[in-house]
Amino acid sequence: MSQERGSRPQPVHVTVTGAAGQVGYALVFRIASGQLLGSDQPIVLRMLDIEPALGALEGVAMELQDCAFPLLQDLVVTADANEGFDNASWALLVGAMPRKEGMERGDLLAANGGIFGPQGQAIAARAASDVRVLVVGNPCNTNALIASANAPDLPRDRWFAMTRLDENRAKYQLAHKAGVPVAEVTNLAIWGNHSATQYPDAQNAKIGGKPAPVVIDDDAWLRDDFIPTVQKRGAAIIAARKLSSAGSAANAIVDSVNSIHLGTPAGDWTSLAVASNGEYGIPEGLFFSFPVQCQDGSWSVVEGITHNAEGQRRIKATTDELLHERELVKDLLP
Ligand code: NAD
Ligand code: LMR
């Protein structure tokens, strides 16, 4: 962003869809306070929701005004996707129905899939030339596939679906078991779908710089406790709260954008679902969560990671699920 000496940078437009919802409410104040793009980056916050939610969204806008955030240069409240994505450099696609107790995220495809084609088209038509898109609304991997397929002229490396919440959950579980601060857990990747088939990979993770399986020294716990706990954490929160995660989801959105924007620490990586280019044998085009390294605004999938037989089996299961989801939405893919 160009900046004259002593002047402030130009504002960056950030769009949040579903901004009247619970993840949106936990997110927009963090964006406006500077936690998304930095404490010297002015923001124009564009909040998009459906018509019936506009009254509530006006209330959120009033609260944002009442925070007197120095970085919040302007606010847009709209139900019009073209206006919502106008000039956006970041599009955070949260707006979608959440699942209820007893559902899998894939059960939302019928209700939510239709939202993402038109939004992909509006992003292609109206967003800034540097736009990057993070899909959060579930099932987020396949919704990202739908949205990006409807914006074929936008480079595929601008599209992400969120698995950072799973990574953060996995890091907490490992740190808690090892009795160390969570910052000691690094190189933790989620592979595959943001669903109960995901593979949280402790085998290649590190704790205090040492292999996590050596530090944990309990293979049965890693297999029978750690993996299912991470896979089913979203459902456990719904069972407890009667609502799906919101604060931790908003936090993971901030973490994801921070990683893409500011980079990942040297030697470490983060989890992002991106369009496969065939890495690790994953079929081309599927939005699959990989270990990703980010630097200077660009990113790449980490190569050369190996998996034991169990890891390979789990990666195949989550790939098969994504292929099945792709088949279910083929009518939404131009
Ligand atoms: P919510 O019901 O509280 O809010 C959803 C909001 O989206 C509502 O305000 C609704 O009016 C709006 N919306 C619906 N259709 C829309 C459209 N076409 N355009 C714009 N807005 C629209 O739900 P929530 O708890 O905020 O969750 C939102 C989504 O995020 C859900 O699909 C949920 O499953 C998902 N989620 C994903 C993760 C993740 O890790 N990937 C984490 C948490 C939640
Ligand atoms: C989560 O992981 O908490 C979200 O995807 C919400 C859900 O449905 O589990």
Report the percentage of the chain scoring pLDDT > 90.
Answer: 97
Return all residues near 267 (Cβ < 8 A) that are at least 6 apart.
186, 187
> What confidence tens digit (pLDDT) does each residue in 127-162 have?
999 999 999 999 999 999 999 999 999 999 999 999
Q: Whose CA is nearest to atom 1 of ligand 2?
A: 234
Query: Of residues 13, 194, 261, 324, which has the active-site annotation?
Result: 194
The residue-averaged pLDDT of 13-18 equals 98
Distance between CA atoms of 43 and 272, rounded to whole angstroms? 24
pTM (2 decimals)? 0.98
The tens digit of pLDDT for each residue in 261-300 reads: 999 999 999 999 999 999 999 999 999 999 999 999 999 9
Looking at every residue in the chain, the average pLDDT score rounds to 97
Cβ(272)–Cβ(167) below 8 Å: no
What are the structural domains, with CATH classification, of the chain?
A: 2-161 (3.40.50.720), 164-330 (3.90.110.10)
Nearest to 33 by CA among 61, 3, 66, 71: 71
> pLDDT grade, residue 2 (50/70/90)?
very low
How far, in Å, are 39, 78, 83, 146, 157 from residue 285 at the CA level?
Answer: 36, 32, 29, 11, 11
| Helices vs strands, H then E, count in the chain | 12, 14
pLDDT, tens only, 241-260? 999 999 999 999 999 999 99
Q: What is the pLDDT of residue 185?
A: 98
- Ligand 1 pocket, CB under 6 A: 17-18, 20-24, 48-50, 53, 94-99, 115, 136-138, 140, 162, 165, 194, 244-246, 249
- Greatest extent of the chain over all pairs of C-alpha atoms, in Å: 59
3-state secondary structure of 322: helix
Q: What is the pLDDT of residue 255?
A: 98
Q: Average pLDDT in the 163-180 region? A: 99
DSSP 66: H
Among 99, 84, 191, which Cα is nearest to 141's?
191
pLDDT, tens digit (0-9, with 9 covering 90-100), for 63-92: 999 999 999 999 999 999 999 999 999 999
- For ligand 2, whether the C-beta of 158 sits within 6 Å is no
1 band by pLDDT with thresholds 50, 70 and 90: very low
Interval between CA 259 and ligand 2 midpoint (Å): 21
Binning pLDDT at 50, 70 and 90, where does residue 7 land?
Answer: confident
139 CA distance to ligand 2 middle (Å)? 9
Query: How confident is the model at residue 8, as a pLDDT?
Result: 77
- Do residues 16 and 24 make contact, with C-beta atoms less than 8 angstroms apart? yes
pLDDT value of position 5 = 56
- The question of whether 324 is a catalytic residue gets the answer no
Determine contact, residues 191/274, Cβ cutoff 8 Å: no
